[in-house]
Every structure is written in structure tokens, then in C-alpha cells.
Amino acid sequence: MKPTRVTSVLESLMSTRWPVFIWGPPGVGKSSVVSAIAKTGRLNLIDIRASLLDPTDIRGIPYIKEDEAKWSPPSFLPNDPKSKGVLFFDELNAAPPLVQASLYQLTLDRKVGEYSLPDGWRIIAAGNRAEDASIVFRMPAALTNRFIHLDFEVDVDDWIAWAIDHHIHPLVIGFIRTRRELLFDMRNIERAFPTPRSWEMLSDILGSLGSPREAADVLIGVVGEGAAMEFLGFCDTAISEDLIKDIIKDPGKAKLPTELGNTYALISYLSSRSKEAVVMKAAANLLDRLNPEMAVLLVRDVIRVNPKIVSEQGYLAFVEKHSDLLT
């Protein structure tokens, strides 16, 4: 199931009380989707790493009151009866069986010990699969049967749309467009391997360690040696920022890249900076000079960042000429 589909399903299920379990390999964005759902719905989010819990952490600590044993629930669980939110148990199936038993009662009955989960809260859990080379414990059938199960799949187009919205470095977006299979690759798992999360990490550190080539030893430790070497090769031949600035200054006459990877890099740079009016206008005026398929890609990317491009003359002329490509 694509991330956008998982998001849509979760949004719909927020109106029900049924708990949801998201299955998927590490680093693909399961927790990010849950966080986005809570933010979009203006819901509180309590993110609990189930694998780090002790069985008593959920039930609480016993105490004596008026010669009677009571249970003091943990402070991290919501206690405002009027509050609304998402209780997210990440790495649930990596939790030891005794912890799973405590969470089972909370999931099944929405209560554990003397604690009751407020009506406005929904339960979402996530975990890796056994085939993901992760340490997991078999979940009791009664617990798994209580969840709605969603399989989270990596989708390059979904990720690129997310990357544009979250200001991922244009070189990273351009590279993944060129080498789509390297967005996620667990064939050679050592310490580092390429995942959506590790490419986000790489994007964050680019520029803080000098040029990509100067930071080669660090990049290997983020996405693994194979993916890092291919990314560095892409960066070595990528269109320079000076040439991109020339194109922005004179989109009608400046020399355009002919190599596919550099065209992707140009599109990524323009779309990521299209909040700037001059860049947005340049992108609109460039459409008629690009291959129609590349122009459509640029249009869709820029619209995500700056919808004002639809009022530009260059965009209107392109739409009139290629309306069939934009449907």
C-alpha cells in the first residue's frame, strides 16, 4: 500500500475506535505518516517505543490507599477525559511478550489496571516484518486479530512529492529520479543502507561537511558504500549552480542540459526554490524549451511549492499547446 493510500485510510479510520497496525521495513516513513495524521487532524500524539518498555510501565506502580492496593498509571498515558489524540506504539512486535500482554489489554479493552483510555484517543501501532532482518517477537493471535493491518510499501513518486514538500536537497531528489531503485535497497545490509529515512539524513548533512566528494566517508556511513558512490558520481557530473543561475536569468536563451540526470537536477533545483518569484517565472518561461514530459514534471513539482505559476503566461501557453499531457 502506497504511503498516500496509508495516509488516506488512517484519516478515514480516525472516526472509528478500531486500532491499526502498520507493517513495513525500517526507515520507510511509518512513524512520519502517523505524525502527519496527528498534525493534520490537530490531534495530540504520544509516541511510545514499545520495545523499550517494561511490563510494569503500562500497568503502573501499585500503592496502598486505605488498606487497599491501587495502581498508579504511568504519566505518559493521556488522562484528560476531554482530550483527543493518537496513542502510537512503535516497534510493537519488537516488545517482549510480557510487554505485549500489557498492551494487549489496553488495545482490546482500552483499559489496563485502573486506567482507561479517553474516548477521544485512537491506537495505532507499527512494526517491522520478520523478513526485514529485524528482531521481532511473534504476536499473540488474539492481539493481531484486534488490529486492522496495513502493509506500508515504498513508492518513489510518493516519496519525491514528500521530498519536495519537505525541502529535501535538490541533488538527492534528482539522483533518486535517476536511480529509483536506490531509494530503498536492503539487499546488502551492513551498518548503513539506503532508505527514505537515510536519504533524508544525507540531505540534512549536505553542505555542512563541504562538497559531497569531501564528505564521501560520511555519506558511506549514511546510505552505504554502493549508493554513496553512485550518488557521488551523480554529483560530480551534475549541473552547476552557476549554470542554473544563468538559466534563471535568461530562460529563453541560456544553454540547457541535455543529459537526463542533469535535467532532473535542474527541475529539482527550480521547483525547490520556486517560492521565489523570479525562479517561478523562469520555470514558467522554460516550459516550452523542455521535452514535454520533462516540462510536465517541472509544472507538477512547481505547483506543489508555488501554485501561482498557473497564472504565468509561459504556463498558460504550455497548457494550451499540451493540454493532453496534463490531464
Residue 226 has pLDDT above 80, yes or no: yes
Share of the chain above pLDDT 90, in %: 61
Higher per-residue confidence, 304 vs 105 = 304
The pLDDT of residue 327 is 64
Average pLDDT, the chain: 89
Higher per-residue confidence, 299 vs 53 = 299
The pLDDT of residue 303 is 94
> Any idea where the domains of the chain sit in the sequence?
3-151, 156-325
Higher per-residue confidence, 87 vs 112 = 87
* CB 227, CB 181: distance < 8 Å: no
CATH fold group of domain 3-151: Rossmann fold (3.40.50)
Provide CB contacts within 8 A for 16, sequence distance 6+.
none
Query: 213 vs 173, 232, 263, CA distance in Å?
Result: 18, 6, 21
Out of 134-143, 180-189, 295-304, least confident range: 134-143
pLDDT tens-digit series, residues 156-212: 999 999 999 899 999 999 999 999 999 999 887 778 999 999 999 999 998 788 788
Question: 151: exposed, middle or buried (C-beta count within 10 Å: 0-12, 13-18, 19+)?
Answer: exposed
Residue 20 has pLDDT above 90, yes or no: yes
Give me the numbers of helices (H) and strands (E) for the chain, helices first please.
Answer: 15, 9
Residue pointed to by grid coordinates 493471535: 141
User: Which whole number is the average pLDDT over 134-162?
Assistant: 87
The pLDDT of residue 266 is 93
Out of 134-143, 157-166, 313-322, least confident range: 134-143
The pLDDT of residue 39 is 93
Task: Give the predicted TM-score (pTM) of the model.
Answer: 0.84
The pLDDT of residue 64 is 77
State the maximum Cα–Cα separation within the chain, in Å, rounded to a whole number.
88
